[in-house]
């Protein structure tokens, strides 16, 4: 009189897949038999739901819990993290208890036996595509560099000072930026930060959590608010570099331990200055996007091209009938209105064209177009927007056309107030 778990998802896993459990019971051929799955949030008495499943023709219970558990995860809005934080809403562990219920006949009442054994499943809101060959998220794909992002420059091994500014992620001094790491071995307790500008170097550490998932605030603004000594690069208008290395260093990565490198800039690049030869388009005006990536954590992207706005104005008018002379004096009044505007609705639509992208950058940025959470950093705040592109076209032929551009169309989640 106990349920046996035959197959189950690996842990940790993602909600953007099929989280299938296969169950069996020696009593599965009993009248009115159903498998009963009670779901709790691990570490608490927070009951979530119960799923009841009839056995199939082989008396097995096949249960997919992804839909129920996906609703329990929400983003952590930790753009302005100073130091590090542990995701609390994006990553959760659930306690699944498998039981059964059945009757003595087809017309009798059922007796329910709740599960007494806990089956723990840690989840984050990533995605697995069915063409990848398995329902399970391949956690081994992030075991080496640890970063939960598909950004081609942030995820590749890149020793500090061995690559040019055109191959680093560009950050300005006012940017908030976070990076989330997963490590199931060699838990990270601190992260090492090097800031170099004009030949001057400041090195320091950012404390970590030492557990599986940790989000570090490593943007120039995050570091400045974490430790003012990191702001020493503010005094030099020339280009600078920021390097982020997890500690302990991970020896399993090809070429050695990973270092994530970022280009810092405090102003536009002039002719002949660093960055101009690298083809980086920079100005004091830019648009910075923050979006939930394929893993369910934040990625960021700066666009240094002009932002375009098209405003649609809808006006509601009251049309007054022609003046009846028998009801009025009939004198001429130049300010007399025939139509009166009593309401105005504004709808602003924005578009911006990206810089030239490589094929790998274009593939990564495609995640922003399908993301359900997109924000723009503006004046130190993050403002929600909705991407409105209905089609995404990417260049797949790189033999002739090496580079590619996207046009991003969006509107603010909150329109201007009507008048």
- Each residue's pLDDT, cut to its tens digit, for the chain (419 residues) gives 688 999 999 989 999 899 999 999 999 999 999 999 999 998 777 899 999 999 999 999 999 999 999 999 999 999 999 888 889 999 999 999 999 999 999 989 988 888 877 899 999 998 888 777 788 888 766 656 678 888 876 655 554 444 444 456 777 778 899 988 887 666 666 677 777 665 666 777 777 776 788 888 888 888 888 888 777 655 444 446 677 766 555 545 555 555 666 776 654 433 333 333 344 444 567 899 999 999 999 999 988 888 998 888 888 888 776 666 666 666 667 777 778 877 888 888 999 988 888 778 888 888 999 898 999 999 889 999 999 987 776 665 556 556 778 889 999 988 877 77
CATH number of 3-133, picked from 1.25.40, 2.40.50, 2.60.40, 3.40.1620: 2.60.40
Neighbours of 102 (CB within 10 A): 19
- Token digits of residue 339: 């139509």
One-character DSSP codes across 82-109: SSEE--SSSSEEEEEEEEEEE-SSTTSP
| 211 vs 137: CA distance, rounded Å | 19
User: Closest Cα to residue 78, out of 215, 211, 212?
Assistant: 215
Which residues, at least 6 apart from 374, have a Cβ–Cβ distance to it below 8 Å? 289, 290, 291, 292, 368, 384, 385, 386, 387, 410
- Determine if the pTM surpasses 0.85: no
> What are the structural domain ranges in the chain?
3-133, 138-282, 285-419
């Amino acid at each position: 009189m106990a349920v046996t778990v035959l197959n189950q998802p690996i842990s940790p896993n993602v909600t953007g897949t099929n989280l299938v459990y296969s169950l069996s019971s020696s009593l599965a051929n009993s009248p009115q038999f159903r498998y009963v799955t009670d779901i709790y949030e691990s570490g608490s008495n927070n009951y979530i739901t119960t799923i009841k499943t009839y056995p199939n023709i082989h008396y097995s219970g096949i249960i997919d819990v992804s839909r129920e558990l996906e609703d329990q995860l929400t983003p952590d809005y930790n753009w302005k993290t100073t130091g590090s934080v542990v995701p609390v809403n994006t990553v959760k562990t659930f306690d699944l208890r498998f039981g059964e219920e059945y009757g003595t006949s087809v017309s009798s009442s059922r007796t329910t036996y709740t599960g007494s054994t806990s089956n723990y499943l840690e989840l984050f809101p990533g995605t697995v595509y069915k063409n990848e060959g398995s329902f399970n998220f391949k956690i081994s794909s992030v075991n080496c560099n640890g970063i939960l992002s598909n950004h081609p420059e942030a995820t590749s091994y890149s020793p500090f000072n061995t690559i040019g500014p055109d191959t680093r992620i560009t950050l300005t001094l006012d940017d908030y930026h976070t990076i989330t790491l997963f490590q199931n071995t060699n838990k990270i307790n601190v992260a090492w930060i090097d800031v170099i500008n004009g030949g001057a170097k400041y090195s320091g550490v950012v404390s970590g959590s030492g557990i599986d998932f940790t989000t570090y605030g490593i943007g120039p603004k995050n570091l400045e608010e974490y430790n003012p000594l990191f702001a020493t690069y503010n005094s030099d208008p020339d280009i600078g570099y920021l390097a982020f290395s997890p500690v302990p260093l991970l020896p399993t990565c090809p070429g050695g331990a990973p270092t994530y490198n970022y280009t810092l800039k405090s102003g536009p690049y002039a002719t002949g200055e660093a960055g101009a030869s690298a083809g980086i388009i920079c100005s004091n005006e830019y648009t910075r996007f923050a979006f939930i990536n394929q893993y369910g954590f934040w990625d960021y992207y700066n666009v240094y091209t002009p932002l375009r706005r098209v405003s649609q104005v809808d006006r509601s008018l009251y049309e007054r009938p022609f003046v009846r002379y028998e009801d009025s004096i009939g004198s001429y009044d130049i300010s007399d209105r025939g139509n009166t505007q009593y309401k105005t609705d504004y709808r602003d639509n924005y578009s911006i064209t990206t810089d030239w992208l490589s094929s790998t950058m274009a593939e990564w940025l495609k995640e922003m177009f399908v993301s359900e959470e997109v924000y723009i950093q503006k004046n130190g705040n993050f403002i929600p927007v909705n991407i409105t592109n209905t089609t995404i076209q990417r260049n797949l032929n790189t033999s002739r056309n090496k580079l590619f551009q996207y046009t991003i169309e969006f509107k603010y989640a909150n329109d201007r107030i009507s008048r």
